[in-house]
Structure 1
Amino acid sequence: MMEILEEVELCFPQLLNASCKKPMRTPFEFMLSYIILSSITVITTTLNLLIIISISHFKQLYTPSNLLLLSLAVSDFFVGLLIFFQIILIDGCWFLGDIMCTLYYLLDYTITSASIGTMVLISIDRYVAICDPMHYSTKVTEKRVQVSICLCWICCVIFQILILRDNFKQPGRYNSCSGECVVVSDYITGFVDLVVSFIIPVTVIIVLYMRVFVVAVSQARAMRSHTASVTLQGSVKVTAKKSEMKAARTLGVVIVVFLICLCPYFCVAYTGDNLLNASNDAFVMCLFYLNSCLNPLIYAFFYPWFRKCLKVIVTLQILRPGSSETNIL
């Protein structure tokens, strides 16, 4: 009887002492974890897919700012798909092989880096829109944004391949037993990754948004003091400024939520803990995944155009000819 129990606790019973042991969990804990992760992946992928369809389909939404939101939605969509691997790991064992383990980490790190890079681009976009509105249309064009997004993703892929190069040379070299999924970088590589992927981008985001906040407050005060004396043309300008500041506030909420959700993840990830097998890191991972689920909800709450797009998509009006010309704004 004891031998059977010991075999049940192993990821690969046939390997005996070479196999990792499964963590002891009750059926209730197993089912609860499965239901929560499955729900998050369905909600995250569905909501972000709606964002992707909306911005890609409706021509009125082809703006530089929305292209950045599209890039963020793509990264959030892939995060939703990555949760599938966490579902596989509910029993604490990795059965997909060492190469897939390294590829999983590469995809995970690349998506995270691309999300942060996109947040930096969003901060720059709002900074120019609020602090230099006269030159926004010439400085921030669709072509430049498209190129910036492509470069962001390409650089993230190349950088993370370099970070994980030793793990690709010999996949699974850092696993202590069969059924474990671990990648390790040396101290210098890890420090460079921390600085380039987190510290510098987050610093840029915070500095830019502090500047945006200061300028937005000063503009709001100026508009209130001149509201009574504006002309019709001036009122149009004021409306435009209000629209830009509303967009800045909305994206500011997105960025604040982003930082709250990802900062704990990075703090734990760079202390050398194994996020995949450490149960005490469950809260950190939930925060990380929750961010990708929250972004579309923030859009739905703050952006009327997303609610209109959602109605058109759900009622299948999107299948009608010429639906891309629908007035969404």
Structure 2
Amino acid sequence: MFECRAVVLTVTYVKPTVGGSVTEYIIVYIFISTISVFTVFLNLLVIISIAHFKQLHTPTNVLIFSLAVADLIVGLILTPVQGIKLIEPCWFFGEIFCSIFPFIFYVVVTASLGNLIIISVDRYIAVNDPLRYPARVNTNRAVLSIVVNWVFSCIYSFFLLYESILYPEKNHTCVGECILFIKLGYIITDVIVTLVTPCCLIISLYMKICFVAKHQAEHINSLSDKKAKSEKKASKAALTLGIIVAVYLLCGIPFYICSLTESTAISSTTMTLLTWTLYVNSGLNPLIYAFFYRWFKMSVKHILTLKIFQPASSLTDIFTDCHS
């Protein structure tokens, strides 16, 4: 059984088994499958859009691409496995995957937080100095920052879980059991790395963004048309990505805080709901893009109508289509 509880010296994940009739059993499976498919489908649309259309190969979109990859992994691996753990009384995926699954979870969570920090820095530069933004931030630098972020996430997650990954048999007392133990010192380190530091950086950056945007709005009528349009565009992009950051933090912070408490203080049902809130967030980001970005709506239209298979479709002027 894959357990999930937080204790003083060890952290495990407690799994409540779904009981009830066969109908309830099927409904829960359908619900989990729907969330998984929904998350994978929407994030694939984001990934294909940015990868296919050359006009979307911008530094900001590279960061969105990386965030969509993390969300895709959530929908493709974490959500279905977590759902089966929730429903079934035993762990059916073997000892090796029992070690790998928490590693994937920590990599994705850490990488997502890293993406949000980089996005916040990108938006701060764009709003604070929009005219020099193209010179200071380019696609190559964005790609490099994303690579460093994912490499750091993998190394950090391995450091945090290396005992469980290398010696999984130490934590298992019977067949069909999957338990994760993390030492208290590592728990404290994880809180600093994946909760305190990212929140402080992201919140402080967006407070500065809001201050700069407000200052610009007060003087925007006195600016040249070129600079006014540039600052309006940067502010709108900052608002959109700021919403994504805020939604992630609202979904993630309660989970991180509750996971540190004693198992008797927080019920397994509450932890399950908070975990699924974190997973569902991965399907919300594409909906935010669809609501705020017209280019995303147009690129999805091209994908769903199979126009991307036409010759030279990658050179399509998406932004012209948006205003046509």
TM-score (norm 2): 0.88
1:35 aligns with 2:30: yes
Give the partner amino acid of 1:138.
A
Provide the rounded CA distance (Å) in 2 between the counterparts of 1:223 and 1:93. 61
Which residue of 158, 161, 171 corresponds with 2:158?
Answer: 161
Cα-Cα RMSD: 2.2
The separation in 1 between residues aligned to 2:215 and 2:192, in whole angstroms, is: 33
Which SS does the other structure have where 2:318 is aligned? coil
Aligned to 1:44: 39
Deviation at 1:34, TM superposition (A): 1.0
Distance 1:215 1:22 in 2: 47
1:57, distance to aligned residue in structure 2 (A): 0.4
Give aligned pairs, total: 303
User: Of residues 81, 88, 107 in structure 2, which corresponds to 1:85?
Assistant: 81
Q: CA deviation at 1:138?
A: 2.0
3-state DSSP of counterpart to 1:95: coil
Q: After superposition, where does 1:236-255 map in structure 2 within 5 Å?
A: 236-255=226-245
Paired AA for residue 303 in structure 1: Y
Q: Give aligned-pair identity as a percent.
A: 39
**Pair 1:116-2:110 in alignment:** no
Alpha-carbon distance in 2 for matches of 1:178, 1:263: 34
**TM-score, length of structure 1 as denominator length:** 0.87
Question: What letter is aligned with 1:44?
Answer: T
Instruction: Indicate if the aligned counterparts of 2:130 and 2:234 stay in contact, CA closer than 8 A.
Output: no
Change (3 A) 1:58 1:24: closer
Using the alignment, how far apart are the partners of 1:43 and 1:307 within structure 2?
17
Structure 2: which 5+ runs fail to align? 3-14, 320-324
- Matches of 2:177 and 2:164, distance apart in 1: 14
> What is the aligned partner in structure 2 of residue 147 from structure 1?
144
**Greater displacement, 89-98 / 250-259:** 89-98
Question: For 1:275-305, what per-residue CA distance to the aligned partner results, in whole angstroms no more than 9, with x for missing partners?
Answer: xx93332210221111100000000000000
- From 201, 205, 209, the counterpart of 1:208: 205
Q: Deviations over 1:42-81 (max 9, x none)?
A: 0000000000000000011010000000000000000001
CA contact (8 A) 1:172 1:183 kept: no
> Displacement of 1:178 after TM fit?
3.5
Higher relative contact order (CA 8 A, sep 6+): 2
Change (3 A) 1:22 1:296: closer
Shifted more, 88-97 versus 295-304: the winner is: 88-97
State the partner residue of 1:303. 293
**Which structure's CA Rg is the greater one?**
1
